[in-house]
Chains A and B, each alone.
Chain A
Amino acid sequence: MELFNNLPSGFAVVLTPTNLLYCLLGSLIGTLVGVLPGLGPLAALSLLLPLTFKLSPVESLVMLSAIFYGSMYGGSTTSILVNIPGEAASVVTCLDGHAMAKQGRAGPALGMAALASFIAGTLANLILTIMSPGLAALALKFGPVEYTSLMVLGFVTTIFMVNGPAPKALIMIAAGIFLATIGTDHVSGALRYTFGSQNLIGGFDLVAIVMGLFGVSEVMLNVEKIARSEIVSKKIGRLLPSLQDWRDSWAPILRGSGLGFILGVLPGGGPVTASFLSYAAERRLSRTPERFGQGAIEGVAGPEAANNAAVSGSMIPLLSLGLPSNGIMALLLGALIIQGVQPGPMLMTQKPDLFWGVIASLYIGNVMLLLLNLPLIGLWIQLLRIPYKVLFPVILLLSVIGTYSVNNNLFDVWVMIGFGVIGYILRKLEYELAPLILAYVLGPLLEQSLRQSLVLSSGSPVIFFKSPISATIMLVSAGLLIYFAYGRIRSARSVNAAPPPTKEAS
């Protein structure tokens, strides 16, 4: 019942000219970021973060969230028309979306991508609206012990979700936590790893790290691989999918919405994982899996629904618990903390305008994006013609402006350059960088709650198994670790048991 009072108040907050403008601006920038290859949502959010310092927390979060889900919408356009994903969550859309475009069905592919995104986004927002108050109420029972356990679960699931070997993910998490410890210890006031530098007393700035790892390193990778483009004129055709397209797609959209929402809520999950898993699920469930990769519309509808639903899902842990589930949410958390707002269970009662305003903005943003994406598709296609040789110096200049303007300190620019080089090397060696950012943002909270918990128990880790909530979370984490280790051992055994490749095959 409370829901019916709160959501309208959220709409009242968002339906002001200023907030609508920021929602529209965020949707436009997000679509642009999604459309343009070589600029992901994380890099774009970090580029624009300094601009939000002058905005109110509601305006700031409304715009940043709109950029996030706008990029999910826009990413499909590039995947379908160019076969280059605009951002990572649209990689799988290339497979069938571009195949459809080559068959002269670019219109229905674009239309279905936008409509599936809209339906999934709206469904996920409904679940978010219903679930958030309950979760926030449950989160009120959380103390330092439960928070520590929850963060451990978050890191375990992150290791579970990322691609590549577990030690690589673990190194990224540990490195992120270590970076967060540099500077002044907030509990004792002691200095750590500052080596006498005044600049390091406050630690590294989040914006400088993110801009380096995701902005600069992205440019460094792109300049060596983007060559030239071959332009072929094809007819896009009508954008609205046919009745048969809807018959083929309604179930994948619903499944994608559910899967995406769950993966958004889970720590370590997010739009990228959601879209890949949705594609795999649809292919497995299909009676004609051989059509996948050849232009099956289910291969567009499912993943596009999943990546949008994951955005709304990932808002739940951020708004209810104050814990980000992925790198982008970590940046949103950083933005809120800079604004002096601490997300968590008290947010709904202390700042209801922010809490419900952001949720209401997700509904409005979804409608705006549908209106922006379908009728303006011609404009977005024109933007695809901007060559990277024009884009990359602009991205680099934006990175410098964004980093410098946070503290008006050139040291941050040097930090950005350093992390750009580190990010470039790590990405070349197939390390995923999102866990590092997640750990960097969660690091101070983890340290505080871990130390508080161990002080309460005089140093005994048994405290994590005394509270029922914490014990359950810890057991789930242990179970996941065992399952993960078992899976790895089994796959290693099957590789060893496989016959050696023949000369011809190799």
Chain B
Amino acid sequence: MADSDLDILEDIFEKPKKDGAKKLIIKIIVSVFIIFISAMLVINIPVIRKMVFSVKGKAESFSFSQNDSITEIQARLEEKLAKLQKKSIAYTPVEPYFVANMTLNEFWLYKNRELILHGLCSTGSYTQLEAGNDRKWIFKTPRGVLKILGKKTAPVWKKPDWAFIEEGLPVPSANHPSRLEEGVLGDYALTMRDSYMIHGTIYKRHLGSPVTHGCVRLNDEDLEKVYKTMNAGSKVYFY
């Protein structure tokens, strides 16, 4: 075959090859575009749904048919609302109450439904002490409402068994003098059920952290104010 013949043949076959490449590129672009549209559709389902909901929401209103006038019903509803709001507010005590957040180790003291003190405290450490023979203690402050049962000045701590076990010491008899420790609870203590107390501390640098065995520790100034404000029967909210 002559060279010129070969050139002609190359022209015949190269042109469709170039056209084919072009078409392939176009089809790839179209495919990518289709896939992009598909992805956008799926990703935007929440947006489409919101549009559908807004249309449906509008379409389904206005089915009101009553014999009374709107004004009368409105007055009745407002009267009912006022009664309910009064009842809701009444749940908050006018008497002093104490709130403690055990996650942040902060407290708030209220009187006449107004905040009068906010500060740091220490609450239960969430430590589980295991001493063998199935003896274990979880040091946490109970969540819920407790009541102040009593108030003490210069409280003396009567150390329970776990206080000795935690220190690696032998547990003395129930009324042994080594159980009594003065000065560690601060100047005041407010007692609650199950031996839980709000008291002072010698570990003031730990205030704001969960380090106690379940009691609530405050600094000296805050403790004095809480002691003077709260009475027997005052509520304490732990959360």
Do A and B belong to a common assembly?
no
